[in-house]
Amino acid sequence: MQRTATRALQALAVMAGCLVVRASAAASDYPYPGVFTNFARKTYDAFSPTLKEVACYEHLFVQDENGDFTTYVLDGLQWLRDRKIVYLVLSKGHCDFFPHAGIEQCSVEDVSDGKKSEAFSRLGGLGALGVEERIYPSEQALLTDRGVDAIRVKCGSVEAIKPFLGTENIGKGPCHEPGKEGEECYYEPSATPSYNDMVGAELRRIRDVIQKK
C-alpha cells in the first residue's frame, strides 16, 4: 500500500527534533528517563480528557538514563489493516541536563536523511499531567526566550512498550500535497488524519494491548 505524505508528520518531525533535547549532567542525574511524548501546551489543552489519556501512543520517545533517546511514530496503516502494533524510528540523539539552570540540550539526528540539529528545553516542575517545559529550536531562541510552552507526558513503561518498537526507519520522498510539490515529506505511516475522539478510540485500543488491560 502506497504511503502518502502529510503536513501533520512534517510538523511532528519538527516537534520531535525540538521537543526531545545534550548537556553535562552525569547519567544518574538525568531527571526523566522513560517513555514520553511532547505536545505544545495549546494543542494538548484542546484535547478531550479521554484523548489526553492516550494521545501519546501515536508518537513517543524512549529516553535512557544516560540521556540517549529514540523517537518513534506509530505505523497506523499496519494497525488498521492488520491490527499489528509497530512503531517506526523517526529520530535518534542524546540529551544532557544542566541542573543549575534547568536546561536540557539535545542533539537530534533525523534517521531518514541524517540531518542533525540542536534544540533546547527549559524544564519546569512535574504537574498533574506531566512535566511542564518551554521548547526552543535554537540557542538564540533560548537566549531571547522565543519558545513554545509544552508538556511532556509520560507514556507507560519501557518494559511494556519495548516489544512493539521496530527498527525500520520512516522514509522521506517527494511531497504530493498541493502547494508542497518539490519539497521533501515524510511518508505517512498513519491512516489517522488528526487528533480527535475517533482517533482516540483507536489509540485507546492500542494502549490497552500494550498495557495488557
Encode pLDDT of 132-190 as tens digits. Answer: 999 998 889 999 999 999 999 999 899 999 999 999 988 766 665 666 666 666 554 44
DSSP structure class, residue 22: -
Task: Identify whether the C-beta of residue 135 lies closer than 8 Å to the C-beta of residue 38.
Answer: yes
- Domain-embedded: residue 165: yes
**pTM for the full predicted model:** 0.78
Supply the pLDDT for residue 18.
Answer: 39
Number of domains in the chain: 1
Average pLDDT, rounded, for the chain? 79
Asked, for residue 22, whether it belongs to a domain, the answer is yes
Burial class (CB in 10 A: 0-12, 13-18, 19+), 100: exposed
C-alpha cell at 166: 521496530
In a domain, 145, yes or no: yes
In contact, 66 and 27? CB cutoff 8 Å = yes
Domain of 122, in residue numbers = 7-210
Assigned domain for 112 exists: yes
Q: What is the pLDDT of residues 93-138, one digit of tens each?
A: 999 999 888 899 999 999 988 899 999 999 987 777 788 999 998 8
Under 8 Å CB-to-CB from 178, ≥6 apart: which residues? none
Q: What is the pLDDT of residues 3-36, one digit of tens each?
A: 333 333 333 333 333 343 333 334 445 677 899 9
Mean pLDDT of 75-93: 90
Flag whether 2 is in a domain. no
- On whether residue 120 sits in a domain, the answer given is yes
pLDDT of residue 144: 93
CB 16 within 8 A of CB 8: no
What residues contact residue 32 under an 8 Å CB cut-off, 6+ apart? Answer: 63, 123, 131, 152
Cell numbers linked to 81: 489493516
Per-residue pLDDT at 172: 66
Strands 103-110 and 116-126: antiparallel
With a cut of 60, say whether residue 68 has pLDDT above it. yes
CA 26 to centroid of chain Cα atoms = 24
Question: Which DSSP string do the residues of 23-85 spell out, in sequence order?
Answer: ----GGG-S--EEEEEEEHHHHHHS-HHHHHHGGGSEEEEE-TTSEEEEEEE-HHHHHHH---
Residue 193 lies in a domain: yes
* Residue 32, domain member (yes or no): yes
Residue 70 has pLDDT above 90, yes or no: yes
Cross-strand pairs, 191: none
Mapped onto helix, strand or coil, the DSSP state of residue 148 is strand
Q: Which residues contact 159 (CB under 8 A, 6 or more apart)?
A: none
